[in-house]
Amino acid sequence: MTKRLSSKYSVCKKLKSPYKNLWGIKKKDFCRSVTTKKRKRLTPFSRLLNIKQSLKFFYSNISENSFKRFIKFSIKSPSKTIDKLCSIIETRVDTIIYRSCLVKSFQEARQLINHGFVYINGFPASHPDKKVNKSDIVTIKFKFFDKDIFLKTLLSRSIPNHLELDLTNFSIVLLWDSNFKNTYYPIKEKYTDISRYYK
C-alpha cells in the first residue's frame, strides 16, 4: 500500500520561509498552507532545520532515516556535499519521473511505481527509491495520458538537461548525474549549509 502524506500541502505550514509553496504550483499560492505569515527571528539551529526540512519536504517520499543516510554518505564523498546529495536523490526513479513532467507530483510518481507501471531497462521498478544509472531507460506504461495536463506541467517547470524524454514510447533516459547548480528548487535556501545540521 502506498505510504503518502495525509495532506500534501500541510507540510508547507512547517516551514519558516516567507514563500511556502514547495513545488512552485501557481494554483496553490492562495491556499492557507502556503500563505505568508509574520516572520519570527530564527535561531541558528532553526535556520539549519528549516533548510533541511525545505529540501526533505520537496522530495516528499523520502523518510527521515533515508535522508539522514544520504547526507552522511554525501559528507564522506570527495565531491561537494550538496552536489553528491543532489546526485543521489535525483537518480531515484520517482524523482526522474517527476522531473520529466509526465506526472504532477511525487505522490503520483510513487503511485505509478507501486502499481507496476514503471520499468527500468524492461524490468519493473521494485520501489520508488530504486537507483537509475546513466544510460538506463525508464519506461512508463500509461493506461491514460492527458496531453493537456502534460503541457500545463511543462509550462510550470522545465525538463532538466540531464534527462532525455521520448513522448512516443513514454521513456526517459538519464544522460548524466545532476548537481546542485543545475537542479531547480522553487524555495531558495542556502542548501550548502545542510550538512551542518547533522554535525
**SS3 readout for the chain:** CCCCCCCCCHHHHHCCCCCCCCCCCHHHCCCHHHCCCCCCCCCHHHHHHHHHHHHHHHCCCCCHHHHHHHHHHHHHCCCCHHHHHHHHHHCEHHHHHHHCCCCCCHHHHHHHHHCCCEEECCEECCCCCCECCCCCEEEECCCCCCHHHHHHHHHHCCCCCCEEEECCCCEEEECCCCCCCCCCCCCCCCHHHHHHHHC
163 class by beta-carbon count within 10 Å (0-12 exposed, 13-18 middle, 19+ buried): buried
**Pairing status of strand 118-120 against strand 123-124:** antiparallel
The pLDDT of residue 130 is 92
> With contact defined as beta carbons under 8 Å apart, do 118 and 127 qualify?
no
> With contact defined as beta carbons under 8 Å apart, do 177 and 87 qualify?
yes
| Residue % of the chain over a pLDDT of 70 | 80
Q: What is the pTM of this model?
A: 0.82
Q: Which domains does the chain have, with CATH numbers?
A: 93-174 (3.10.290.10)
> With contact defined as beta carbons under 8 Å apart, do 75 and 195 qualify?
yes
Give pLDDT tens digits for 92-138.
Answer: 999 999 999 999 889 889 999 999 999 999 999 989 999 999 999 99
CA-based R_g, the chain, Å: 17
The pLDDT of residue 142 is 87
Give pLDDT tens digits for 179-195.
Answer: 998 898 887 888 888 88
Give pLDDT tens digits for 16-27.
Answer: 665 556 776 655
